[in-house]
Chains A and B, each alone.
Chain A
Amino acid sequence: MDRVPILKIGDILLVSIQIDMEDQVALQLQEDLADRVVTTGCHGVIIDISGLDIVDSFVGRTLATIASISRVLDAETVVVGMRPAVAITLVELGLSLPGIRTALNVELGMALLARAKADERAGDSEWDEIDDEDAETAADAQP
């Protein structure tokens, strides 16, 4: 059975699907990816599906599951490069893949993850910000 390779680039795992996504392949990818996220400790997963002509409901659901699993393991998942025809088919089927982040290409996907990480850091330093805001309000209040 074919396996989908998982590449590690910095803090991101890149999965580029270039083969037909059969159900077994999808399930194998789900397992492999969960393992890799844990062993590498990466915080971002990019799944490139620009090579896929067909995304059926099972693959769609698997992608959603992968996203959920990764989130549990503290990694954001972005699905990138969906073809127009695939998007149209999914919409016609009524599958809008809720809970999955998407981007047009790998580059924009990496930017999205970087931003998500930056937001998270900002969230960590929330207390500092609040202090800053308080200081500002105080400054504004003074004539």
Chain B
Amino acid sequence: MALEPDEASRLAALLEDKQEELVGAWTDRVAQSLRGRLSRAELQRQTTELRKGFQSALAGGATDLTQEAAAELRAQLSDLSTGRARQGFSATETAVSLFALKEALLGVLDGGDAGNLREYVAFSEFVDAAALFTFDTYVHVRESLIADQAEQLLELSTPVVKLWDGVVAVPLVGTLDSARAQVVMERLLQTLVDTGSPYAIIDITGVPAVDTQVAQHILKTVVAARLMGADCIISGIRPQIAQTIVALGIEFGDIATKASLADALRYALNKTRTRES
């Protein structure tokens, strides 16, 4: 049951006439549902803005949230939802803030004749659509937050550090999947070019398990570095991991493997010294 144009304009007039009362009741209800996590002044500002948004949308003849006249209202709703999502409110709390408008409106509607009822139900549907819209926005914002964080985590977890002149190291921490392996490889190779280091140490102390796939990723990185003219040393192989590697029949070929990062650094420095002399 959608809003009729004349109903929309009548509701717009009502929202305008009873604005003080409406905003007051609405803010009360929202404040109650949020239990003091946002200040009353802040809520008052938000509800006042939203009332204005609803009023201008209805006055513009919007009978549906997707219409052109409701564009500004949609922008407001998405701002509100984005803000709430970033502040850590739940989707329900955001949606309930809008549902509260229905109750507030019921309070200011006078009498109870059939026309009013129809109007109220239709408007209620409009508010529901608005609340659902904030829900969608909320989910969208949270998803993008998660995606951002995943990306940051990826960046954080793969530093390439310079240990000595001509020796860089990548301490790998956490599970190595294809996406991370790719980032590690690109980072390492780029650092080799930037610093002109002929030795790279890949430290796998922080890798919880090495299976054939992880080994494959490491081997690819080593081969790529070798193609560019740098030697890789794999270090930080724990006893269990060494056993797994042998049990799985993974061949590291002529790639130098060391038990600890210290051993790997000593090896690299020795090689550098023999190079220079």
Q: Report which A residues bind B (CB closer than 8 A).
A: 78-80, 82-84, 86-88, 90-92, 96-97, 101-105, 107-109, 111, 115
A87 touches B196 (CB 8 A): no
> How far is A78 from B227 in the complex, measured between Cα atoms in Å?
11
A82 touches B226 (CB 8 A): no
Answer yes or no: B171 CB below 8 A from chain A CBs. Answer: no
Chain A proximity of B215: nearest CB distance (Å) = 14
The answer, among B186, B220, B230, B275, for a CB contact under 8 Å with A115, is B275
* Additional 19 contacts, C-beta under 8 A, given A84-B193, A91-B227, A107-B196: A79-B229, A82-B227, A82-B228, A83-B193, A84-B185, A86-B227, A87-B189, A91-B220, A96-B223, A96-B227, A97-B227, A102-B226, A102-B227, A102-B228, A104-B193, A104-B196, A104-B198, A111-B275, A115-B275
B230 touches A84 (CB 8 A): no
A84 touches B198 (CB 8 A): no
Question: A105: nearest residue on chain B (CB-CB)?
Answer: B196
A80 touches B185 (CB 8 A): no
Q: Point out the residues of chain A lying under 8 angstroms from B196, CB to CB.
A: 104-105, 107-108
Q: Point out the residues of chain A lying under 8 angstroms from B226, CB to CB.
A: 96, 102
Q: Point out the residues of chain B lying under 8 angstroms from A78, CB to CB.
A: 229
Q: Point out the residues of chain B lying under 8 angstroms from A82, CB to CB.
A: 227-229
Question: A118: nearest residue on chain B (CB-CB)?
Answer: B277
Chain A proximity of B103: nearest CB distance (Å) = 60
Answer yes or no: B95 CB below 8 A from chain A CBs. Answer: no
The answer, among B185, B189, B229, for a CB contact under 8 Å with A103, is B229
A84 touches B229 (CB 8 A): no
Q: Point out the residues of chain A lying under 8 angstroms from B19, CB to CB.
A: none
Answer yes or no: B225 CB below 8 A from chain A CBs. Answer: yes
Q: Point out the residues of chain A lying under 8 angstroms from B198, CB to CB.
A: 103-104, 108
Q: How would residues 186 to 198 of chain B score, 1 for a CB under 8 Å from any chain A CB and 0 otherwise?
A: 1001101100111
> How far is A108 from B190 in the complex, measured between Cα atoms in Å?
17
Given contacts A104-B198, A108-B198, contact A88 B229 (CB under 8 A): no
B interface, size bucket: 10 to 19
Chain B facing A: main interface SS: helix
Answer yes or no: B224 CB below 8 A from chain A CBs. Answer: yes
Chain B proximity of A108: nearest CB distance (Å) = 6
Given contacts A104-B196, A105-B196, contact A84 B189 (CB under 8 A): yes
Q: How many A-B residue pairs have CB under 8 A?
A: 60
The answer, among A79, A91, A103, A115, for a CB contact under 8 Å with B223, is A91
**Restricting to B186-215, which residues have a CB under 8 Å from any CB of A?**
186, 189-190, 192-193, 196-198
The answer, among B197, B224, B275, for a CB contact under 8 Å with A87, is B224
Of listed A80, A87, A88, A108, residue having the most chain B CB within 10 A: A87
Question: A84: nearest residue on chain B (CB-CB)?
Answer: B189
B223 touches A84 (CB 8 A): no
6 residue pairs, one from A and one from B, having the closest CB atoms: A84-B189, A102-B229, A103-B229, A87-B224, A87-B227, A91-B224
Chain B proximity of A98: nearest CB distance (Å) = 10
B228 touches A84 (CB 8 A): yes
> How far is A14 from B230 in the complex, measured between Cα atoms in Å?
20
> How far is A102 from B229 in the complex, measured between Cα atoms in Å?
4
Question: B189: nearest residue on chain A (CB-CB)?
Answer: A84
Q: Point out the residues of chain A lying under 8 angstroms from B223, CB to CB.
A: 91, 96
Chain A proximity of B85: nearest CB distance (Å) = 37
> How far is A90 from B189 in the complex, measured between Cα atoms in Å?
13
Question: A103: nearest residue on chain B (CB-CB)?
Answer: B229
B185 touches A88 (CB 8 A): yes
Q: Point out the residues of chain B lying under 8 angstroms from A79, CB to CB.
A: 229
Q: How would residues 220 to 259 of chain B score, 1 for a CB under 8 Å from any chain A CB and 0 otherwise?
A: 1001111111100000000000000000000000000000
> How far is A87 from B193 in the complex, measured between Cα atoms in Å?
12
Chain B proximity of A64: nearest CB distance (Å) = 12
B192 touches A88 (CB 8 A): no
A90 touches B229 (CB 8 A): no
